[in-house]
Amino acid sequence: MGGRDATMVLLDENGIRCDGRKVDEPRRIMIKAGGLKNADGSAYIEFGDNKILVGVFGPRDVHPKHMSNTDTGILRVRYHMEPFSVGERKNPAPSRREIEISKVIKEALEPAVMLEKFPRTAVDVFIEVLQADGGTRCAALSAASVALADAGIPMRDMVAACASGKVADTIVLDVNNEEDQAGQADMPIGYMPSLEKITLLQLDGVLTPEEYKKCVDVGVQGCKIVYDIQKKALKDKYFGKGDD
């Protein structure tokens, strides 16, 4: 947290946020299923100004072999930011942050993916952040779910993700980059709407127990909005555009 621009108005007297949104309004979300010829499944997401491409490979043989599991398949996730994806060029070497985000996305996807159907194999998820603007882990997780479905990997549900947070003492949906930097709390949530199960919940900042509950509720509502867009992306690819 920590104010980057102390003069910026995060929430005006009419309840409008610094990017013109209402407190319960997500940024513009567009998801496209498929697109990468050489991947088994893929997806592209634009979430506000975030632009992220995901390729899924597998189930396939595991190398080195000793990393495989005779009882179940394994999921491997690599979240990678292009050096040009942020204002100040990012060092191309994997950062601690990218390693952490790879781990949390993997753990958020594992409850959804039926890995037990593919013993001794691996499913690889490669996430390329082309442009970052706050909330990339949620956008990447949502796109990864669509890419896994596009690859035909059996899943219990898709994981939809969205962050909520606290800005100017108010709980808001889908924290943007400015709000993340200057706001009071940021809570990324991953949720399987059909199963009503949360698979990712992180909190940066301080909330009262009441605010915490409200943040979870608001974030889950955001995930449900994302879920509809994920389903539409798959329908558009497999049943053609036109209907809902």
The verdict on 124 binding ligand CDP (CB under 6 A) reads: no
Tokens of 53: 């491409």
- Pick the binder of ligand CDP from 1, 11, 16, 86 (CB under 6 A): 86
* C-beta closer to ligand CDP: residue 177 or 230: 177
- Pick the binder of ligand CDP from 62, 132, 144, 200 (CB under 6 A): 132
Measure the CA–CA gap between 182 and 6, rounded to whole angstroms. Answer: 8
Among the residue ranges 65-73, 126-134, 146-154, 190-198, the one whose residues contact ligand CDP (CB under 6 A): 126-134
Max Cα–Cα distance, the chain, nearest Å: 60
* C-beta closer to ligand CDP: residue 40 or 133: 133
The verdict on 177 binding ligand CDP (CB under 6 A) reads: yes
The verdict on 137 binding ligand CDP (CB under 6 A) reads: yes
DSSP 137-174: HHHHHHHHHHHHHHTT--BSS--EEEEEEEETTEEEES
- Pick the binder of ligand CDP from 26, 48, 73, 135 (CB under 6 A): 135
- Pick the binder of ligand CDP from 22, 28, 60, 97 (CB under 6 A): 97
Burial 6-42 (b: 16+ CB within 10 A, else e): eeeebbeeeeebbeebebebbbebebbbbebeebbbb
| Shortest separation between residue 178's beta carbon and ligand CDP, angstroms | 10
5 CB-near residues (< 8 Å, 6+ apart): 178, 182
The verdict on 187 binding ligand CDP (CB under 6 A) reads: no
| Shortest separation between residue 129's beta carbon and ligand CDP, angstroms | 8
The verdict on 130 binding ligand CDP (CB under 6 A) reads: no
The verdict on 178 binding ligand CDP (CB under 6 A) reads: no
- Looking at the chain, list the stretches that DSSP marks H as alpha helix, in order from N- to C-terminal side: 96-109, 136-150, 177-182, 209-239
The size of the interface with ligand CDP (CB under 6 A), counted in residues, is: 12
The verdict on 106 binding ligand CDP (CB under 6 A) reads: no
- Pick the binder of ligand CDP from 59, 134, 183, 193 (CB under 6 A): 134
* C-beta closer to ligand CDP: residue 40 or 180: 180
Q: How many Cβ atoms from other residues are within 10 Å of residue 201's Cβ?
A: 15
Binding interface with ligand CDP (CB under 6 A): 86-87, 90, 97, 132-137, 177, 180
